Amino acid sequence: MKTKNRPPRRRAPPQDPEVTQGERTPETLQPGSGPEPAKALRGRTARVQTARAEGGRRRPGPVGRRESSVQRRLESNERERQRMHKLNNAFQALREVIPHVRADKKLSKIETLTLAKNYIKSLTATILTMSSGRLPGLDGPGPKLYQHYQQQQVAGGALGASEAEPEGHLQKYSTQIHSFREGS
């Protein structure tokens, strides 16, 4: 997989300043043969596709691009779209298993990740509390879980006092839910 210690990458400046990136639609590369599926879509995707179908925001394609290179780019764009769709599906699946107060309001991605992290922490803390209480001194899951938990805490760096206790996680999760509710 990916190397974690990869140096930060610098983006090269656009080759053609006349054609901004957001305007490099498939149509600008290859007019009239966009890769969009012919199924009905809703939301932004549908709006974008409708705009494309109607020819909005088009500019002449970049000069000097070879047809094979254009084709590779289109295929690459399509793969990237599919990848992002899969990522968004995963976000949606995650949203559906995180209990939060405002079910009518869709959690943003950053909210989803943050809530999920603290939800997991609070669940872990709850399990630890219950298991260690029921199985004192035995070889059950309690002590092992607790050891693992402590190792994770150490590996994850120094934590505040509130995070060192189960109640801290629950409190943090609860506070976060309410801050999302009030802030939105």
Phi, psi at residue 151, to the nearest 5°? -65, -40
Nearest distance in Å: CB 67, DNA: 14
**Closer residue to DNA, CB minimum distance, 21 or 40:** 21
Nearest distance in Å: CB 167, DNA: 28
Q: What is the dihedral of CA 88, 90, 92, 98, to 10 degrees?
A: -140
Residues binding DNA (CB under 7 A): 1-3, 6-12, 14-15, 20-26, 28-29, 44-45, 47-49, 51, 57, 73, 75-81, 83-85, 88, 106, 108-111, 184
Nearest distance in Å: CB 145, DNA: 29
The candidate with the shortest Cα–Cα distance to 82, out of 130, 33, 37, is 37
**Closer residue to DNA, CB minimum distance, 89 or 150:** 89
**Closer residue to DNA, CB minimum distance, 16 or 167:** 16
CA distance 16 to 77: 18
Residue 35 gets the label, from left (phi > 0), alpha (psi -120 to 50) or beta, of: alpha
CA distance 91 to 84: 10
Nearest distance in Å: CB 6, DNA: 5
**Closer residue to DNA, CB minimum distance, 14 or 140:** 14
**Closer residue to DNA, CB minimum distance, 23 or 167:** 23
**Contact, 131 vs 142, CB < 8 A?**
yes
**Closer residue to DNA, CB minimum distance, 24 or 172:** 24
Nearest distance in Å: CB 31, DNA: 12
Tokens of 118: 């603290």
The residues, any chain, with a CB within 8 Å of residue 130's CB and separated by 6 or more, are none
Q: What angle do CA 148, 151, 155 make, to 5 degrees?
A: 140
Length of the chain: 184
Nearest distance in Å: CB 92, DNA: 9
